[in-house]
Amino acid sequence: MTTLARRTTLALVLSVAGLAALAGCASADPVVAPVVRDVGELQGETVELQVGQVLDIDTGDLAVDSYRGLVEDPAVASFTPGRETGGTIYNPGVEGIAEGTTTVVLSNDDGGIEDVTFTVEVSD
């Protein structure tokens, strides 16, 4: 085998090995993008989520930590309050836990703000 043939073979083997290594790094679970909604657009709406998907609630001008959430069926979805940590702002959200339908009620600590009630439908 000539030197050129050996180098070509080595390059081919290294390329295949590199691709195999990259394939091993790929996640088996697909990444599901969050659903983003403005809190003012949620009243009476139905939000469809997949199991593991999150509804990211944009609170607009109101503080992200001013909202509280009550999920009627916590086996279907869970509420995560908003917060600010180390200069990073995290919006409140609802995560789909299991297939089903539940009602979510958001209330706000700031007086005079009406509760926001909406439905979350979670599919597998």
d(CA 11, CA 107): 62
Residue type, 57: I
Confidence bin at 110 (pLDDT 50/70/90):
confident
> From the centroid of its chain, how far is CA 5?
50
> From the centroid of its chain, how far is CA 119?
17
The mean of the pLDDT values for the chain is 84
- Specify the pLDDT at position 16: 47
| Predicted confidence (pLDDT) at residue 21 exceeds the cutoff of 60 | no
Residue type, 96: G
Q: Six-digit token pair at 19?
A: 């691709």
- Specify the pLDDT at position 100: 98
Phi, psi torsion values for 13, nearest 5 degrees: -65, -45
